[in-house]
């Protein structure tokens, strides 16, 4: 099973077209596409119509090119909370809902619910960040999953069964430098997982520096952002 994995598009249709162009140039083929949230910039722009149009276009492009597209919404894909929360309508692809298992293939389930994860199941979340007060936060890795895919923090990480996809496109929110990111190719063979990163922007690899973890980090210009991981 070969998967195309990325996240954090932030409504940038041009970034999706760039990804498709890059995949075509490599003549790569994928069994499914997995997107770990923040397809739009709804919570930032607060423009529901614009965000809906971006979502529709992005999913249309991906499903037309790759067929099987599964995704979870991210924190930027809705606006507000509780009864006043505004969500977008999902017409294309398969949005993974809480408490359910879906199938990327005949024997490869995927879920967004940690309690449903096991050694044969992919867990996908937009964020796995736990806030511990002040500015302290940790990204919690699910040891029980075959593969744990997340996004949100804009720092790509590969460590064991854990994949943070970084970002496909980063905008200027919070004073960041707008730029293209990249995407991952994930190969699953007899429950062994291998990862290959393809940059579309100035993303560089460095060794992961986090106590108790070995792997790689992918960040803009190779800057070594602080990373704190924990296993649950």
Residues of the chain with pLDDT > 90: what percent?
87
Beta bridge partners of 193: 188
In the block, tokens 């970084």 appear at 166
Whole-angstrom CA distances from 208 to 155, 190, 219, 228, 229 are 11, 26, 11, 10, 11
Query: What does the pLDDT read at residue 37?
Result: 97
Mean pLDDT of the chain: 95
pLDDT in tens, 155-183: 999 999 999 999 999 999 888 899 999 99
Strand ranges of the sheet holding 2-6, from the earlier edge strand across to the other edge: 94-95, 69-71, 32-35, 2-6, 182-189, 192-199
Close Cβ partners of 31 (under 8 Å, ≥ 6 residues apart): 1, 2, 3, 68, 104, 105
- The whole-angstrom separation of Cα 155 and Cα 143 is 20
Please check the confidence at residue 225 and state whether its pLDDT lies above 80: no
Please check the confidence at residue 33 and state whether its pLDDT lies above 90: yes
| Cβ-based burial of 167 (10 A; exposed 0-12, middle 13-18, buried ≥19) | buried
190 DSSP 8-state letter: T
pLDDT in tens, 123-149: 999 999 998 877 788 999 999 999 999
Whole-angstrom CA distances from 78 to 60, 72, 74, 118 are 19, 12, 8, 29
Of the candidate ranges 111-115, 190-194, 197-201, 220-224, the one whose mean pLDDT is the lowest: 220-224
- Three-state DSSP at 165 gives strand
Query: What does the pLDDT read at residue 45?
Result: 94
Range of the domain at 52: 2-231
* 183 and 169 Cβ atoms separated by less than 8 Å: no
Any idea what the CATH number is for the domain that residue 106 is in? 3.60.21.10
Query: What does the pLDDT read at residue 226?
Result: 81
pLDDT in tens, 47-98: 999 999 999 999 999 999 999 999 999 999 999 888 889 999 998 999 999 9
Number of structural domains (the chain) is 1
| pLDDT bucket at 213, cuts 50 / 70 / 90 | very high
- The whole-angstrom separation of Cα 154 and Cα 172 is 13
């Amino acid at each position: 099973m070969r998967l195309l994995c990325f996240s954090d598009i932030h409504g940038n249709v041009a970034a999706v077209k760039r990804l498709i162009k890059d995949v075509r140039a490599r003549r790569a083929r994928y069994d499914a596409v997995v997107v770990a949230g923040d397809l739009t910039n709804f919570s930032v722009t607060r423009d529901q119509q614009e965000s809906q149009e971006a979502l529709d276009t992005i999913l249309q492009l991906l499903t037309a090119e790759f067929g099987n597209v599964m995704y979870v919404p991210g924190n930027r894909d809705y606006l507000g909370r509780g009864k006043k929360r505004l969500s977008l309508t999902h017409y294309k692809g398969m949005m993974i809902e809480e408490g359910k298992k879906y199938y990327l293939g005949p024997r490869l389930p995927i879920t967004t619910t940690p309690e449903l994860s096991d050694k044969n199941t992919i867990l996908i979340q937009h964020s796995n960040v736990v806030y511990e007060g002040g500015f302290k936060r940790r990204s919690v890795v699910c040891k029980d999953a075959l593969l744990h895919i997340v996004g949100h923090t804009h720092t790509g990480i590969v460590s064991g069964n854990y994949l943070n996809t970084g970002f496909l496109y980063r905008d200027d929110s919070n004073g960041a430098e707008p730029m293209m990111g990249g995407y991952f190719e994930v190969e699953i063979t007899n429950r062994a997982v291998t990862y290959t990163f393809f940059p579309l922007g100035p993303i560089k690899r460095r060794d992961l520096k986090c106590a108790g973890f070995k792997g790689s980090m992918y960040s803009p210009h190779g800057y070594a952002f602080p990373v704190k991981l924990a296993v649950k």
